[in-house]
Amino acid sequence: MTALLQILFDALSLGSLYALGAIGIALIFGVMRLVNFAHGDYISFCVFALLWPSIDAAAIVFAGQLPAYLLIPIILATGACLSMLSEVLVFRRFRNANPATMMIASFALGFVIKYTLLMLFSSRPKSIDLWSELALPVEILDARIPLLQVITIIITVLILAALVAFLKRTRFGLEMRAAAENFTMARMLGVRANAVILLAFAISGMLAASIGLILVTQTGTVDIQMGSSVMLVAFIATVIGGLGSLPGAVVAGFLIGGISVLMQVILPLEVRPFRDAFVYGAVIVVLIWRPNGLFAPRSAKQRV
Amino acid sequence: MKKLLTGVAGATIMMAALGTSVAKADDIIVGFATASSGFMQAYDKPAQDAAMIRIDEINKAGGLLGKQIKTVAADTKTDRAEGAKAGLEVIDKGASLVVVSCDYDFGSPAALAAEAAGKVSFFLCAESIKAGIQGVGPHSFSASVLAAVQGATMAEWAYNKKKARNFYRLLDTWTEYNKGICDGFDWMMPKLKDAKLVGQDTFKNEDTSIAAQITRIKSLPQQPDAIMLCSMMPGVVSAVKQIRAAGIKSMILNGSGVSGGYWLNATPDLSDFYVPDQGSVYGDDPNPAVNEFNKKYKAATGGDPSSQYVYPGYVMIDVWAKAVERAKTTDADAVVKELEKMKDEKTLFGPRTFTDKIHHQNRGRYLITEIKNGKPGVVDEWTISEPIPVEYLVKK
């Protein structure tokens, strides 16, 4: 029982990260049909914002020393600004380009961010101790769960709840949903396209920043590659969830996290190094079964 | 295609001829085909700086065979194709010794170019058996010690000095280096009477959470005495942080990939954590000459050595220059012959042995560094009781 509970928490906390990443991507895809591959680099950028630029092996912690009540808003704002900036400087110019072109542009932007970080901080991963007291375990029904895992799960649930409330209860949310449903029609009905898209980018950037903060607290590591692996899984989650569907992205994020943990537990040692092959095998099966994803939004179907 | 290749080869030979005629006849040239840009730069630069220090020392003491050592460099840009070009470029400039990137995969293209030109090549710090005769050819060497020796050293040391009996093996499947550490550990385990492997697991360096792996360790009837952690930066920090956060107190044994104190601020209270080091970067090396070297390094680069991977650069020039001195020529075959005669050749960072079977260290003296309350310090040193057989290393 304890072991099961432990596995459940492991799965939920890993899934939380993926779910947060997946919504960030799904949000942007919803409003402008852009798969933003620079999203992973937003994550890395936000984490590096904790440090002072230097190519020394040891990290020079700068913003990271601020108290949490200042640090969290600053990092969230960093994510939001970077994301909005990339919309204003890059993606806005591609508004009418085809999705493949936009995707390539997002790749290019990702490279620019990554190599800027490489130049400022070098390729060496750096270490930083952020809120390590969160790593202490708490006991829940006999299972010892690191506090951070619990917090990650709670934060994810809170963010999701806030996002749902925002989308369902506010004018901006309504506009955003309308834009996701049918952008041209929404515009004709008076939805302010630039504002809505900018807002979607801001939220997406803040989600990237929160993933960054959780990752760095958990791993103690700052690395220019660190966003990429989360980004990959999150992207896959948005695809299985049904591109553009927010609930789909969340469910699929948790699903991949769950499968990944489960595989690590049940696979025999010899095949465990190939865990991800099994995880992605499951992804393929899901896509064969539901090619449009688990929750294909109406907007994804061909309109006649 | 073939024509093109012949053309390129022809041009190369011509350029090589020109290059040598440009270089002064009374200089000995060391060529660095290493990364001065891209992500390998952060790994190549420190060892290269150390090599420069040794070159400087030799030049100040009158040079090599009465000649000054000059250096030339070409950037591999952390790219395998560029690596081959960089190798050719330094050979063209007359290099008698071609120094290549720290990592086997990134260093081998330049090393192969050197091999084809009949020049001696040295990997700055690659720790795979392939970095040498097995993967490049008879003129190729590595200045470091095999990853497998690190795993074997930690196992034998923990068994003898820490009375560890129950071991757990946690392998990060990301690189060959990680696998190498665990291979050495696996080779040593059966030799340790009544030492037992109570469990093993794998993870991936990029895993954000190793919760499932930790749950597996925690569900053992008894916590292992020691966890052999075969991993490297950056994933290893995350793994260690999570292992300790979960309340697992077993001692953790590592490869040299975690050498250097620069990452310890991520784990402020880390204890019972052991690292094999070729020399101490913490200023407490039992050999005062190493501490002297650290001072020189700081004067030259503005910072202390960040990890033990600085040192092989110094060793490399040291052993190569000795071989040149003994061979009385920089001719590759004669130098290789002298290098292969070296048996427990003293260097600042442990003895070096090369034979005609292996141009790498399958045994080596390691300092054991303990991290206690987040502070590193040398506590012991250990040399494995017998070298790891070449056949075992090649088979793995």
Where is average pLDDT lowest: A109-113, A166-170, A269-273, B145-149?
A: A269-273
Domain of B101, CATH number, reads 3.40.50.2300
- B306: chain A residues, CB-CB within 8 Å: 56-58
B11 has pLDDT over 70: no
Q: Say whether both B310 and B241 belong to one domain.
A: no
- A132: chain B residues, CB-CB within 8 Å: 241, 267-268
Tokens, residue B67: 């000649």
**Domain assignment present for B77:** yes
Of B323, B340, B357, which marks where a domain is finished? B340
Q: How far is B334 from chain A (nearest CA, A)?
A: 38
Q: Say whether both B188 and B121 belong to one domain.
A: no
Q: Say whether both B12 and B116 belong to one domain.
A: yes
Q: Under a CB-based contact definition with an 8 Å cutoff, are residues A159 and B296 in contact?
A: no
Contacts of B5 (CB under 8 A, 6+ apart): none
For chain A, the C-alpha Rg in angstroms (whole number) is 19
Sorting pLDDT into bands at 50, 70 and 90, what band is A304?
Answer: very low
Closest CA to A17 of A142, A148, A106, A195: A148
Q: Which of A10, A122, A136 sits opposite B42 (nearest CB)?
A: A122
- A128: chain B residues, CB-CB within 8 Å: 265-266
Indicate the number of domains in chain B: 2
Q: Say whether both B230 and B208 belong to one domain.
A: yes
Please give the average per-residue pLDDT across A67-91, as a whole number: 91
- A13: chain B residues, CB-CB within 8 Å: 209, 211
Q: Say whether both B312 and B270 belong to one domain.
A: no
B270 has pLDDT over 70: yes
Q: Say whether both B247 and B318 belong to one domain.
A: no
Q: Say whether both B152 and B72 belong to one domain.
A: no
Q: Which of A6, A57, A218 sits opposite B215 (nearest CB)?
A: A6
Please spell the DSSP secondary structure of B89-140, one letter per residue. HHHHTT-SEEEE-SSHHHHHHHHHHHHHTT-EEEESS--STIIIIITT-TTE
Say yes or no: B200 contacts chain A, CB-CB below 8 A.
yes
In this predicted model, what pLDDT tens digit does every residue of A18-49 receive, in sequence order?
Answer: 999 999 998 888 888 888 999 999 999 999 99
Q: How far is A241 from chain B (nearest CA, A)?
A: 21
Q: Say whether both B382 and B233 belong to one domain.
A: yes
Which residue bears the tokens 């939001």?
A: A80
Smallest CA–CA distance from A265 into chain B, residue: B212
Say yes or no: B209 contacts chain A, CB-CB below 8 A.
yes
Q: In whole angstroms, what is the distance from residue B3 CA to residue B271 CA? A: 62
Strands (E), chain A: 51-52, 60-61, 126-127, 137-140, 143-146, 221-222
Q: B12 — alpha (psi -120 to 50), left (phi > 0) or beta?
A: alpha
Q: In whole angstroms, what is the distance from residue B117 CA to residue B101 CA? A: 18
Coil, strand, or helix at residue A146? Answer: strand
Please give the average per-residue pLDDT across A248-262, as a whole number: 90
- Give the pairing type, strands B27-34 and B68-75: parallel
**Domain assignment present for B355:** no
In this predicted model, what pLDDT tens digit does every residue of A181-198 receive, in sequence order?
Answer: 777 888 888 888 888 889
**Domain assignment present for B334:** yes
Q: Which of B209, B261, B303 sits opposite A13 (nearest CB)?
A: B209
**Domain assignment present for B114:** yes
Q: Which domain holds residue B198?
A: 147-277+365-395
Greater pLDDT, A295 or A161:
A161
List own/partner pairs for A83-89 with CB under 8 A and 24 or more apart: A83/A42, A83/A201, A83/A202, A83/A204, A83/A205, A83/A206, A83/A208, A84/A198, A84/A201, A84/A202, A84/A205, A86/A38, A86/A201, A87/A197, A87/A198, A87/A201, A88/A198
Contacts of B13 (CB under 8 A, 6+ apart): none
Q: Say whether both B390 and B262 belong to one domain.
A: yes
Q: Which of A10, A57, A219 sits opposite B212 (nearest CB)?
A: A10
Q: How many CA atoms lie within 13 A of A194 on its CB side?
A: 5
Q: In whole angstroms, what is the distance from residue A232 CA to residue A250 CA? A: 15
Q: Under a CB-based contact definition with an 8 Å cutoff, are residues A59 and A225 in contact?
A: no
Q: Say whether both B295 and B377 belong to one domain.
A: no
Q: Say whether both B228 and B111 belong to one domain.
A: no
Q: Say whether both B272 and B382 belong to one domain.
A: yes
